[in-house]
Structures are given as C-alpha cells and as structure tokens.
Amino acid sequence: MDEKELEKLRHSTSHVMAEAVLKLFPEAKLGIGPAIENGFYYDFDLPRPLTPEDLRAIEEEMRKIIKGRHPFIRKEVSREEALQIFKDQPYKIELIQEMPPDEVITIYTQDTFTDLCRGPHLEHTGQIPEDGFKLLSVAGAYWRGDERRPQLQRIYGTVWPTREELEKYLAWLEEVERRDHRRLGKDLDLFSIHPELGAGLVLWHPKGGMIRYLIEEFWRQEHLKAGYQFVFTPHIGRSWLWETSGHLSFYRENMYSPMDIEGQAYYLKPMNCPFHIMIYKSRRRSYRELPLRWAELGTVYRYERSGVLHGLLRVRGFTQDDAHIFCTPEQIEDEILGCLKLTMHLLGAFGFHEYDIALSVRDPQHPEKYIGSDEMWEMAEGALIKALEKMGLSYRREEGEAVFYGPKIDIKIKDALGRAWQCTTIQFDFNIPERFDLTYIGPDGKEHRPYMVHRALLGSMERFLGVLIEHYAGAFPVWLSPVQVRIIPITERHNDYAYKVASRLREEGLRVEVDDGPERMQAKIRQAQLDKIPYMLIVGDKEVREEKVAVRLRSGEDLGPKGLDEFIAMAKEAIAQKK
C-alpha cells in the first residue's frame, strides 16, 4: 500500500474511532483527527479522564462499526448548513467561522457519524482491517496548541493493512520504549531534570558529565585540526543586541523576559551569533584575515511550552556546538565543503552513517520575499550544491523552504531504529552582516560585505546525548563509556589485587571501577551488564596467582584469562577505533 492509500486508511480509522467515542460518550466535544506518520489521533473534550479499559471498549465499538461496512459519503454544504450540523460542537463551530468566505466546506458521513473534513477517505469502513489497528495511548493536548485554551484528551492509534504489519510495528514500539533515553538516563545515572529546579533544565550527573566531556574534547580537537578558533561569550546581553539582530521582532516569543540592570533591559541569549558578530566588529578586518572560523560550545536559553518538553530532546537551556564563518564570496564554496567534511567525520565517529539531507532554497517565483541580490543567492545556492555534489551526498531540494536571509543545508542522522534526528544545519546569512554593517577591507582598499555562515554540526549537547543514548540503547562504544572497566573480585581476599589492577589501568588512561561489595560474583556480573559496562574483569585465586584477569563482555561473551598487558592493548585498540 502506497503512502496516499495509507493516509486514507489512517484518516478513515480516526473517523471510526471518533464515532465509537461518541457512542460511548454522547456528550463528547470533537476537536480534530488527522492521519499522522504510522497512525492517527483524535482530540476530545470528555467528561472524565480516559482509562486503559476505556481504550479497549472503544476498540470493540470500532470493530462493530467496521463490520457494518458503512460507506464514507462526501457532501458539500454551505456555511449556514455546516453551522447548523455542528451546532452542539463548539470546536467545529470555531473552525467553520475561521474558514475564508470562498472556501468549499465539505463533510463526510459514515453510519451515524458526520465530521467536518476535506478527506479523502476509503470507500467504506469494511476496508479497515479489524485486526490491523490498535489504540496506543491518551495524552493531553491544548486546543489549537494554545496553553491558554482548554486541554483536550488526545487518543493515539495505529493502523496497518495487515495484522503482521501491525505486530511488526508494535514490536518496533517496544524497542523504542526499551531505548527511551529518559528511562536509560535514570537507570544509568546520567542526568536528571527536577520540577524544583525548573522544567526543561538538565542536571548532568558524573557519568553523563563524563560522556559530555568526551564528546566536547573530541569536538575541540577536530575543530582545531580544521582551522577553527574558540571564543567564549556571556549568557546575557543588552536589548540593543537583539533589536539590531532582529531577534526581538521575530523571535521574542521564544525569548525569556528581560532583566532590568541599571535601567537597561538585558536578555538571556537564545542565540550565540550576535556575540560573535561583536567580536568581529571589535576592530577593522582585512581580506587577508579571512576566512575567520570561530567556534563556541555556547549555552543558550529558549522558552518552550511545558507540553513540548521531552527529556534531553526538547529543553529550555542547552549548549550548541556553534560556529560562525566570515569569508569573502570567493572563499564560500571551500568553506561549505569544509563544513560538510567536518560534519561527516564527526557524525561517523559517533556511529552515524546514514543521512537525510535537505537543501532549502528560495522560491524562484517570489524573490521579493528574500533579502539580498539575485547574484548573492545564486552564488550561495550554487556553493551549497557544489559542496554536496563534491562530497557525493544525495539530497532533497526544497524550494521555498529557505529562510528570508539565506539558503541552508539540514542533515538528519538515522539511528539504529531508522529514525531521523535533526542535527546539522549549515546556514547562509545575508541579514546579520547587513544589520550590523559588517565589512572588511578588500585588496582594492575599499570596504566589502563579508559572507557569513552559521553552522551547528551536532546540534546541541543535550539533544545529541539523548539521540546517542537511544541509538546505542545505553551501551556506548568503549571510547564513550563513562566506565570502561569494572573489576569484580570473587571474594574479599581478592580485593587488594583488584585495586592493584585498577591502579595499573588508570595509569594507562582507562576509566575503572572496583565492585568490592558483599554480593555474589554472578550478581555483580549481572549488575555490570545492566550498567552497560563494556569490560568486566573477574579476579580470583587463579588470576592472582598468574597475574591475569578473566575478561567478560557486557554481551555475556567470556573471553577467558588474559594478561594485563594483553587486555590493555585490546581495550586501547577498541578506543582508538571508536568501537
């Protein structure tokens, strides 16, 4: 079944679910019920919270409707007719009243249920497989996404052409749950978020902090090799900065309220770019200095509604792996190519090798919507395209998706479950150099406007760690594991040897723990596996006598006894190869 047919199946199933809900709760008020990726949902204003038992009852009612093979009947109606049909449905009335006067209003009816809908739908309810759908969960959802409006109950469901496809999808969902970074983050003691501190604000625990340190150190090393310089900027700035950059006019709703400092308004920064701009403007620049590549692991703060916060993936304070490149028009192609090369190198080192790449360019039919000359846009878009083609990267061209101040490349990485995550953005900017009047002195002795590129390769430390946790299901490669080795003495008399081994491994740069608790050896091994420790070294009488260690992997594989030098060489090889 192709995507269009799947969408019809899912949309039709949402209507059947809405009919079933109305039969069980006649006083229900209806919101909207679209098809979504892998399923559908419908929003309801109900007299009480739904329970798991309610979902099962709704499913049974849906099967009765499906068996009735009721046709989906489309009808065009006038605005007055629509208002009369939905006179007891205030959310539908609101939607009708907001429709443009010339819009064709259509309704769809099946059995006893009529909905305001553009369609399309299946021919009849019998085309929905009785054993191919399942209601998954209930969540709160503000009407029209506005937290000042009523909160409705959103029922999520999924439907597939066959039972086998449904079961495959449900198994995939179980794997998604097993990899959930919020649960693993707690189980592995990596991070926490506390209501007492504030929603969307992350505390990095020592083990999570070690992973972040390793990511950042690798990031710094590779950026130095690529010719970047590091800058550091404050967390707040005067309102003038954000007025000049334009953030206060188009981004204010995502910024926190200003602070009054000696009669002047200051804002927490939502972006790092204006600060880098001010460094550029601190003195006159020559073409001989360009390109300038300035990088910062800069922490920014953005207001996100509590309803969209999600562990590490959607937070209110996060650290971007940010950088800005200032260059001449002649240098731009090489700089974009350098960004892409560094991106692929970094992402590959973390185990990501499949990408979904989008090139966002302006709408050629409406050039008036964008700032900058045609020549600038053609040069910028051409530089992005040439760099992608030189790298041999497949991409999707999205006309009209560029922001008004420049074209961009967005790269989504695909994880172990095939899910795409937005990480890398390489963005041209014709706007800020103009707003801040950036110039450099060219070889002709005259002032010229530099080209500017914003780029974040990993995205943010918070989001990237969340993706890493789910990609590896918490079992990080050896080089990223916060604890690489756990030494397990069989009895208390083996503790001294265990600590002697630990001391040697630390001297070699390995991260080591000794489990000298009173539990039995098998319990300690099991706990080390739950903690996703790459190597377990068991030490008993034989190991003490032969000055060896018995090596086990978190997978359960037993590698047997090894000399300490042999184990160290093996571990270092895995680290060097980023395994």
3-state secondary structure 274-311: HHHHHHHCCCCCEHHHCCEEEEEEEEEECCCCHHHCEC
Assess if residue 263 is contained within a domain. no
Domain boundary among 472, 503, 531: 472
Please give the tally of structural domains in the chain.
Answer: 3
Assess if residue 52 is contained within a domain. yes
Q: Picking from 121-135, 368-382, 493-507, 534-548, which range would have the lowest pLDDT averaged per residue?
A: 368-382
For residue 373, what pLDDT is reported?
Answer: 80
Give the C-alpha separation, 535 to 555, whole Å: 10
Q: Report the pLDDT averaged over residues 449-453.
A: 94
Is the CB of residue 550 less than 8 Å from the CB of residue 538?
yes
CA torsion 562-565-569-570 (nearest 10°) is 10
Tell me, yes or no, if 260 is annotated catalytic.
no
Of 212, 302, 532, 552, catalytic: 302
Shared domain for 210 and 323, answered yes or no, is yes
How much is the mean pLDDT over the chain?
A: 94
Give the C-alpha separation, 317 to 461, whole Å: 11
Does the pLDDT at position 250 exceed 80? no
For residue 400 the two structure tokens come to 């009209």
The residues facing 361 across adjacent strands are 399
For residue 367, what pLDDT is reported?
Answer: 78
Does the pLDDT at position 423 exceed 80? yes
Instruction: Scan for tokens 């608790």, then name that residue.
Output: 517
Shared domain for 198 and 340, answered yes or no, is yes
263: left (phi over 0), alpha (psi -120 to 50) or beta: left
For residue 579, what pLDDT is reported?
Answer: 82
Assess if residue 338 is contained within a domain. yes
**Residue 308's pLDDT band (boundaries 50, 70, 90)?**
confident
Shared domain for 570 and 431, answered yes or no, is no
Q: φ, ψ for residue 449 (rounded to 5)?
A: -90, 125
Give the C-alpha separation, 501 to 496, whole Å: 9
267 contact partners, CB below 8 Å, separation of at least 6: 236, 237, 239, 241, 242, 255, 256, 258, 259
Quote the DSSP letter at residue 537.
E
Shared domain for 334 and 222, answered yes or no, is yes
Give the C-alpha separation, 403 to 418, whole Å: 28
Shared domain for 409 and 354, answered yes or no, is yes
CATH of the domain at 8: 3.30.980.10
For residue 57 the two structure tokens come to 């009852």
Q: φ, ψ for residue 270 (rounded to 5)?
A: -90, -15
For residue 400, what pLDDT is reported?
Answer: 87
In 3D, which of 269, 423, 287 has the Cα closest to residue 278? 269
Does the pLDDT at position 473 exceed 90? yes
Tell me what percent of the residues of the chain surpass a pLDDT of 70: 100
Give the C-alpha separation, 83 to 277, whole Å: 54
Is the CB of residue 269 less than 8 Å from the CB of residue 251?
no
Is the CB of residue 460 less than 8 Å from the CB of residue 270?
no
**Residue 253's pLDDT band (boundaries 50, 70, 90)?**
confident
For residue 391, what pLDDT is reported?
Answer: 93
**Residue 431's pLDDT band (boundaries 50, 70, 90)?**
confident
For residue 78, what pLDDT is reported?
Answer: 95
Does the pLDDT at position 190 exceed 80? yes
Is the CB of residue 356 less than 8 Å from the CB of residue 412?
yes
Q: Which residue blocks in 424-538 are alpha helix, DSSP H? A: 431-435, 461-472, 495-507, 521-530
CATH of the domain at 565: 3.40.50.800
Is the CB of residue 151 less than 8 Å from the CB of residue 33?
no
Of 320, 331, 427, 484, catalytic: 320
For residue 368, what pLDDT is reported?
Answer: 79
Assess if residue 259 is contained within a domain. no
**Residue 404's pLDDT band (boundaries 50, 70, 90)?**
confident
Give the C-alpha separation, 384 to 405, whole Å: 15
Give the C-alpha separation, 400 to 369, whole Å: 10
Q: Is the peptide bond before 291 cis (omega within 30 degrees of 0)?
A: yes
Residue 408, CA atoms < 13 Å, CB-side half-sphere: 22
Of 408, 455, 524, 552, catalytic: 408
Assess if residue 351 is contained within a domain. yes
Is the CB of residue 338 less than 8 Å from the CB of residue 226?
yes
Shared domain for 407 and 508, answered yes or no, is no
Shared domain for 43 and 170, answered yes or no, is yes
Q: Is the dihedral of CA 167, 168, 171, 173 positive or negative?
A: negative
Give tens-digit pLDDT for 78-90.
999 999 999 999 9
For residue 120, what pLDDT is reported?
Answer: 94
Does the pLDDT at position 457 exceed 90? yes
- In order of 34, 136, 565, the CA distances from 56 in angstroms are 21, 10, 60
What is Dmax (Cα atoms) for the chain?
92
Give the C-alpha separation, 301 to 315, whole Å: 9
Give tens-digit pLDDT for 496-554.
999 999 999 999 999 999 999 999 999 999 999 999 999 999 999 999 999 999 999 99
Shared domain for 165 and 222, answered yes or no, is no
For residue 399 the two structure tokens come to 């006309």
Q: Report the pLDDT averaged over residues 222-240.
A: 96
Q: Report the pLDDT averaged over residues 353-357.
A: 93
Is the CB of residue 74 less than 8 Å from the CB of residue 117?
no
For residue 266, what pLDDT is reported?
Answer: 95
Of 121, 179, 223, 324, catalytic: 324
Tell me, yes or no, if 408 is annotated catalytic.
yes
For residue 147, what pLDDT is reported?
Answer: 80
Assess if residue 246 is contained within a domain. no
Assess if residue 240 is contained within a domain. no
Shared domain for 343 and 393, answered yes or no, is yes
Q: Is the peptide bond before 120 cis (omega within 30 degrees of 0)?
A: yes
In 3D, which of 33, 35, 140 has the Cα closest to residue 91? 33
Tell me, yes or no, if 322 is annotated catalytic.
yes
pTM of the model as a whole? 0.89
Residue 416, CA atoms < 13 Å, CB-side half-sphere: 18
Give the C-alpha separation, 302 to 251, whole Å: 10
Shared domain for 384 and 466, answered yes or no, is yes
Does the pLDDT at position 372 exceed 80? no
Of 45, 54, 115, 322, catalytic: 322
For residue 130 the two structure tokens come to 């009785």
CATH of the domain at 422: 3.30.930.10
For residue 241, what pLDDT is reported?
Answer: 92
368 contact partners, CB below 8 Å, separation of at least 6: none
Give the C-alpha separation, 187 to 377, whole Å: 49
- In order of 80, 290, 340, 350, the CA distances from 345 in angstroms are 61, 24, 9, 9
46 contact partners, CB below 8 Å, separation of at least 6: 21, 25, 28, 153
**Residue 359's pLDDT band (boundaries 50, 70, 90)?**
very high
Give tens-digit pLDDT for 89-120.
999 999 999 999 889 999 999 999 999 999 99
For residue 570 the two structure tokens come to 């093996």
Tell me what percent of the residues of the chain surpass a pLDDT of 90: 88
Q: Report the pLDDT averaged over residues 446-475.
A: 95
For residue 258 the two structure tokens come to 């200003």
Show the domain range for 529: 485-576
Of 10, 110, 207, 273, catalytic: 273
Tell me, yes or no, if 302 is annotated catalytic.
yes
Of 179, 247, 269, 454, catalytic: 454
Shared domain for 164 and 222, answered yes or no, is no
Number of helical (H) and strand (E) elements in the chain, helices listed first = 18, 28
Give tens-digit pLDDT for 553-575.
999 999 999 999 999 999 999 99
For residue 339, what pLDDT is reported?
Answer: 96
- In order of 43, 61, 273, 432, the CA distances from 247 in angstroms are 34, 51, 11, 11
For residue 74 the two structure tokens come to 């489309």
Domain boundary among 417, 438, 472: 472
Tell me, yes or no, if 273 is annotated catalytic.
yes
Shared domain for 440 and 492, answered yes or no, is no
Q: Is the dihedral of CA 487, 468, 310, 266 positive or negative?
A: positive
Domain boundary among 413, 446, 472: 472
Assess if residue 285 is contained within a domain. yes
